[in-house]
Amino acid sequence: MTSTELTNRITVNPAIFGGKPIVRGRRLAVEHVLGMLAAGDSTESLLAAYPWLEREDVLACLEYARRLVAHERVEPAIRTGDAA
């Protein structure tokens, strides 16, 4: 997905959800889509729940998250004691 395609689908509006990334200017936050997918919902169930939503919107949410994570450094948790 190109940057232009991504920014056509993922937008920010300070008047909606405090400026969090949303899908195509609507009241559906990227984090909400990601949360539903993480909870086990399928793309098909999201498309059924939001008739205006397109498969490419869901893919754009995933691509947005991938690009954010690609720039983060993740430190593994330090654990003490016996391994489980």
Residue closest to 28 by CA, chosen among 8, 45, 13: 13
76 pLDDT higher than 60: no
More confident: 72 or 28: 28
Residue 77 domain-assigned?
no
Q: What is the pLDDT of residue 74?
A: 52
Contact 66, 30 (CB under 8 A): no
Number of domains observed in the structure of the chain? 1
Residue 54 domain-assigned?
yes
- For the stretch 14-44, pLDDT in tens is 889 998 999 999 999 999 999 999 999 999 9
Residue 79 domain-assigned?
no
| Cα–Cα distance, 49 to 54 (Å, whole number) | 11
Query: Domain containing 61: what range?
Result: 3-70
Residue 83 domain-assigned?
no
82 pLDDT higher than 70: no
Angle at the Cα of 56 from the Cα atoms of 51 and 62, rounded to 5 degrees: 110
Three-state secondary-structure class, residue 11: strand
Q: Is the dihedral of CA 54, 69, 21, 37 positive or negative?
A: positive
Residue 84 domain-assigned?
no
* β-pair type (21-23, 10-12): antiparallel
Q: What is the pLDDT of residue 2?
A: 85
CATH classification of the domain holding 19: 1.10.10.10
Q: What percent of the chain has pLDDT over 90?
A: 62
